[in-house]
Amino acid sequence: MSSPAPTPPTAPPDRGAWRWVPSLYFAEGVPLVVVMTVAVIMYKRLGVSNSDIALFTSWLYLPWVVKPLWSMVVEGVGTRRRWVVVMQWLLAAGLAATALALNLGDYFRYTLATLTFLAVSSATHDIAADGFYLLGLNTHQQAWFVGIRSTAYRFAMIAGQGLLVMLAGWLETSSGLPRTELTIAAADQPAAELSTDWDESPAASAPANDENLVAVSLSAPAISLQGRSADEAKQFVEQVQRYNIAQGFYNPPEEAEPVAEGEKPGWVARLEEFIRTTFGPEQAPLAEQSDRVGDLLAVVMRYPRAIPAGARQVVQFDLAGGDKSFSIVEGGRYVVTAENWQQPMVAVVQADAKLDATSDAQFEIRSGNVRAAWVTVFYLMAAAYLLLAIYHGFALPRPAEDQSHGVAIASTSGWIEPLVSFFRKPGIVAILAYLLFYRFAEAQLVKLASPFLLDSRDTGGLGLTTGEVGFVYGTVGVAMLTIGGIVGGLVAAKHGLKRWLWWMVLAINLPNLAYLVLSTFQPEAFWVVNLAVGIEQFGYGFGFTAYMLYCMYVAQGEHKTVHYALCTGLMALGMMLPGMVSGWLQELIGYQRFFMWIMIATLPSFIATYFIPLDESFGRENAPHAS
């Protein structure tokens, strides 16, 4: 006869835990969100390429990959309380160092160093905080507060990828000029002469004497439907690019260095060419392929006021709506400084050669001090984290069990046996494949989702502002992610994991279609973007439940803590490796083809799930527990 199910705890025996449990897990969540999500958005707004963003921010998963081994040191040296407080001081210092590094010339290299420091400190803080939670509370309190700590962690996500990103967006906007909007039309008229005398652009679209607006003029009243010579168009675009580079508005495009026959970079170059030509979008006609291409005109922009020495304004010229036959073929993002603000910025807009009827498209010009905005955000985070460190120095209790075990626990005998026993588990090959490939598609998608929302429509993105991306992911996205996780936990607890396993696999993979739909139709309605991201995040939250429950299933038995830590380390590895190449692949084939690949990349998740060992009753109410 089975014993009755234990009654869930109804109230915490000690209210003192309220003083530190929510704040501790809020402090645990913020740096992870900063390193994994906020850094991606920040780098995108600073003009870093998608390939570099995905590669280098994926490397930041490494501290969480090796966390199981590092945990032996944390448990063996010093108390968990001391580790928590010291790591919070270091995290505050790391956030401040990131703000300082953003002001340096080679900011990308130095901020990667400070973010690596944050990642190591954050992973160490995770180990210490989770250990302290077990020592600072009895089992009854641990059960009662598990929902509170999860909620606090979600609030950290809202604060990090929501409020902080929206704050950065507001700072960007408030530090720049009001948005300038213009319409460019295509008409059945002869093509105008292409002139590089930017001061003689006759068709003014914004007043040149308004100090609150970027002054805009066009090289012609409209784009001609009759097209023009391909050679002439190509030469003009190259002239504009050379001009913008000479003025320091942006750096010259990277060119592949010649490589010797048989060297590895040569193989990489050939692989890239194969992927680009086979799977990438169709290329626009070149001069040697077609005598005529779509007509184009120059958009000449002038910043209306002086830039202080050392300051930088980023001016963005984007396609905002209208006929998608119009595209920006040169220009788009300009860095304006005290040295070049008096020089005109030039973009080139081209109409598709197939366009044969009068049409138009809307464009917009935005500006702001992007770097200063993010410097401010990181300084504010550093100040807030410093206050948390000071607070926890007083608020955290001092459990008698929280003692240093010396270095013995970190000795070879302390971790070799649990490690070996993990890899001797029945079905370990299938288990490893599941842990590494269940999120194979999601690992690639998560690194390009924010860049896709931020990139201009002309490059295949949605052209959202920083603040809009913060709202989409930090409020709607987190809310739907949380609801999906709660629903997943409820159904798994009621019927068992195995009954819902395949529904969860479908949920974490099929909603990725939302990004394929967004990249195909590029909707202008903001609510449509929120709906699509909300559906994807709900599916992710629901489907991720299966992954976390299976980690618990694998960890059953002796060495449960170490084995669960190994599962989470493999989870981080499964996110790190695919994410590293995702940006490189997207730049080769474009957003729409990349999201097609994401759907293909869901197949390993289904295949790996098919082979895993799993008890029928695991996770179900009143199911027998493994010892």
The stretch 135-161 carries a mean pLDDT of 75
Q: Do 452 and 512 share a domain, yes or no?
A: yes
For the cut 60, the answer to whether the pLDDT of residue 229 exceeds it is: yes
386 phi/psi in degrees, rounded to 5: -65, -40
Which residues are CB-contacts of 238 (< 8 A; sequence separation ≥ 6)? none
In a domain, 481, yes or no: yes
pLDDT value for 388: 92
Position with higher pLDDT, 7 vs 503: 503
Helix (H, G, I), strand (E, B) or coil at 256: coil
Question: How does 21-43 read in b/e, with b if 16+ C-beta sit within 10 Å?
Answer: bbbbbbbbbbbbbbbbbbbbbbb
| Number of structural domains in the chain | 3
In a domain, 89, yes or no: yes
Q: Do 207 and 344 share a domain, yes or no?
A: yes
Q: 555: domain CATH number?
A: 1.20.1250.20
Q: Do 193 and 273 share a domain, yes or no?
A: yes
Of 464-473, 552-561, 599-608, which gets the smallest average pLDDT? 552-561
In a domain, 122, yes or no: yes
Q: Do 433 and 534 share a domain, yes or no?
A: yes
pLDDT band at 492 (very low <50, low <70, confident <90, very high): confident
Q: Calculate the average pLDDT of the chain.
A: 82
Tell me the percentage of the chain whose pLDDT exceeds 70.
Answer: 84
Q: Where in the sequence is the domain holding 202, given as residue range(s)?
A: 180-368
Rounded CA gap, 7 and 148, in Å? Answer: 18
Q: Do 399 and 358 share a domain, yes or no?
A: no
In this prediction the pTM is 0.83
pLDDT value for 219: 85
For the cut 50, the answer to whether the pLDDT of residue 258 exceeds it is: no
In a domain, 280, yes or no: yes
Q: Do 350 and 482 share a domain, yes or no?
A: no
